[in-house]
Structure 1
Amino acid sequence: MDLAPLRPLAVVGSINVDVVARVARLPGPGETVLGGALTRSPGGKGANQAVAAARLGARVRMVGCVGDDSDGRWMIDALRDAGVDTGGIWLGDTPTGTALIAVDANGENQIVVCPGANAAVEAPDDLGDDEAVLAQLEIPLATVAALATAPGFLALNAAPAAELPASVVERADLVIVNETEYALQPALAAARLVAVTHGAAGAVLLSRGTEVARASAPPVTAVDSVGAGDAFAAALTLGLHAGWPPELALRAACAVGADAVTMPGAQPPLRPLASYAWEVP
């Protein structure tokens, strides 16, 4: 089967510096755990998804906000180096956003996000009919609501969980959540298409609450799960926007997410999306 080429994508979302501590196990409430090396790297759900989409072979532009500081300039350079168009990123009056992340020996993580300049992200007014939009909830909810007027394919990674405006739920062509986020957002049962991820168990596609496709995740040895959900979101959005059959797009996205957990960092190197599609049986 010939696969249709990927179409343009605009990612409207967060750009953060990830400050990561790797520990043997994650701490419980009130507990202190001694860890190993501390690292700083590019992150933010929006930036992670933009980089993943570019590495999967799409033409991608990033719409977001960073601080007028060294971290902000570093984040812009990192996105540009990954092949992302950074013309839609502006410098805000507050510092660049930061995520504090603990990762255990099994790749599981805990994350606290300090939004910083991400609180100033606004919806662009130059979206085209052929351009998909992918957004997340690390930016103001009012900005996400404004994207309901986007003329093309609209995908929302509804994370972290929040009460979404009905207009967004009704308008979104695709909503992506994990199983916990889906349980916390009951309004999503009415959405036209929802992808629910189940970690190593794969993912399902639901239309108005009814399952229409299911895919398993290839077995891998997990190193770091921080960027896996973002890679999955980028892959599924690109596949569905290109018109791939939903089951094939879902299976390819699960393969991308599985590949992402085998590498450290929120923005792992990835192959063209079509290569993942041919991997699945």
Structure 2
Amino acid sequence: MVDLLAVGNALVDRVHRVTILPPPDGGAAILERSRAPGGVEANVAAAAAALGLDAAMVAHVGRDADGEEVLADLRERGIDTDGVRVGEPGDTANSLVFVDPEGRRIIFTGGRGAGALELADADLVRLSGARVCATSAYVPAALLRGLADACARTDTLLSVDLPGTFDDLAPRGITRELVAALLPRISLLVLGRAPLADLTGTEDVDEGLDRLRRHTDTRVAVTAGAEGLHVDGDGERVHAPACPVEVVDTSGAGDVTHAALIAAWLLDGAPPEQAAVAGAAAGGHATLAAGARGALPGRRVLAGAAAQRPTGAEPPGPRTDPADPGRH
């Protein structure tokens, strides 16, 4: 049995380091270009593998150089890729990532990728042999609904990232009503402040969590930038401040946070306080290097962070910036 089956996006990030993130009608100079494998669910699988979890991937890539790069990276990390479909040349999805000197970024994604995924009988077998299935609302609505149904039948825990507002997710068929209907079958929901506000109708994190709690006992984690990580579930609500680090790049930090929460909260059965500290520490560590997988923490990193900073402590030091363990 695998610890984690990630289902969804595995693609190539084309990263542009720029002078600024410009406003509408503005411009910026490109300082440096690079590329690396990425994708929300593939990043979660990579971070889980770095934490010592047995991980597998279901995704769709093309029969092309980008697809070969994606598969090679997953395999080098020890991730089972038997569930990755190889389609036609050009099928591998790509993201254009623009990162400013402070590590903030904007991302544009295109290509078939997860949009071509449909659940096959072999995937249902894989789900039945997994302790946790991780996915996101960046997959088509039919796939998200199918995963929720299949996990309910197989007693596999379902962990879902709600990574954007519904205006952005609408082309995939992801609606507020769908997410609300699926919540009872979701074991862990990870989302940022903007998606929480869009889902609940309030920008106040505590009020948003209160509104969710009236309808579901789903565990919820809210990444809130400089405010840190809010965790609500198992009868507790905990806030872990953001880690004070020298931020290089926030790309993929939310995916790393997600993997740490799966490891600590869903698989290890840690209490919410311990899970929150692990998630915040993982997200902070992930910002220390360029790229979504440039600084994946291991178990020792998270254990050290937990020992050094109890939950509720204020981020020390005026010279460092709190890392946002937020969006991808």
Could you say which residue in structure 2 is the equivalent of 1:186?
200
CA gap 1:75/1:129 in 2 versus in 1, 3 angstroms: closer
Pair 1:120-2:116 in alignment: yes
Alignment partner of 1:125: what SS? helix
Matched ranges for 1:251-262 at <5 A: 251-262=277-288
CA separation in 2, counterparts of 1:154 and 1:115?
26
Alignment partner of 1:205: what SS? strand
Pair 1:95-2:94 in alignment: no
Deviation at 1:184, TM superposition (A): 1.5
Alignment partner of 1:36: what SS? strand
Pair 1:62-2:57 in alignment: yes
Structure 1 vs Structure 2 CA RMSD? 2.0
Could you say which residue in structure 2 is the equivalent of 1:23?
18
Q: How many residues align?
A: 274
Is the CA contact (8 Å cut-off) linking 2:44 and 2:255 kept in structure 1?
A: yes
Scaled by the length of structure 2, the TM-score of the pair is 0.79
Scaled by the length of structure 1, the TM-score of the pair is 0.91
Alignment partner of 1:252: what SS? helix
Pair 1:84-2:79 in alignment: yes
Percent identity, please: 33
Deviation at 1:40, TM superposition (A): 1.3
Deviation at 1:223, TM superposition (A): 0.4
Within the candidate set 77, 99, 106, 2:102 is matched to 106
Is the CA contact (8 Å cut-off) linking 1:92 and 1:117 kept in structure 2?
A: no
Could you say which residue in structure 2 is the equivalent of 1:240?
265
Could you say which residue in structure 2 is the equivalent of 1:135?
135
Is the CA contact (8 Å cut-off) linking 1:11 and 1:49 kept in structure 2?
A: yes
Alignment partner of 2:106: what SS? strand
Is the CA contact (8 Å cut-off) linking 1:19 and 1:100 kept in structure 2?
A: yes
Deviation at 1:51, TM superposition (A): 0.5
Pair 1:157-2:161 in alignment: yes
CA gap 1:47/1:26 in 2 versus in 1, 3 angstroms: same
Pair 1:250-2:276 in alignment: yes
CA separation in 1, counterparts of 2:24 and 2:236?
36
Write the deviation string for residues 135-163 of structure 1: whole angstroms up to 9, x where unpaired.
Answer: 01222121011111202211101113332
Corresponding letter in the other structure for 1:81: E
Alignment partner of 2:49: what SS? helix
Deviation at 1:92, TM superposition (A): 2.4
Runs of 4+ more than 2 Å apart: 268-275
Matched ranges for 1:18-57 at <5 A: 18-57=13-52
Within the candidate set 178, 183, 189, 1:175 is matched to 189
Alignment partner of 1:133: what SS? strand
Within the candidate set 253, 274, 278, 1:228 is matched to 253
Corresponding letter in the other structure for 1:178: G
Corresponding letter in the other structure for 1:204: H
Is the CA contact (8 Å cut-off) linking 1:229 and 1:257 kept in structure 2?
A: yes
Corresponding letter in the other structure for 1:105: P
Deviation at 1:207, TM superposition (A): 4.4
Is the CA contact (8 Å cut-off) linking 1:92 and 1:120 kept in structure 2?
A: no
Is the CA contact (8 Å cut-off) linking 1:249 and 1:277 kept in structure 2?
A: no
Alignment partner of 1:11: what SS? strand
More helix by share: 2
Is the CA contact (8 Å cut-off) linking 2:17 and 2:32 kept in structure 1?
A: yes
Could you say which residue in structure 2 is the equivalent of 1:144?
144
Is the CA contact (8 Å cut-off) linking 2:164 and 2:194 kept in structure 1?
A: no
Write the deviation string for residues 174-199 of structure 1: whole angstroms up to 9, x where unpaired.
Answer: 10001111111228823422110112
Alignment partner of 2:84: what SS? strand
Deviation at 1:34, TM superposition (A): 1.2
Pair 1:204-2:230 in alignment: yes
Corresponding letter in the other structure for 1:102: F
Write the deviation string for residues 196-248 of structure 1: whole angstroms up to 9, x where unpaired.
Answer: 0112321112349x961111122001100011111001110111122111110
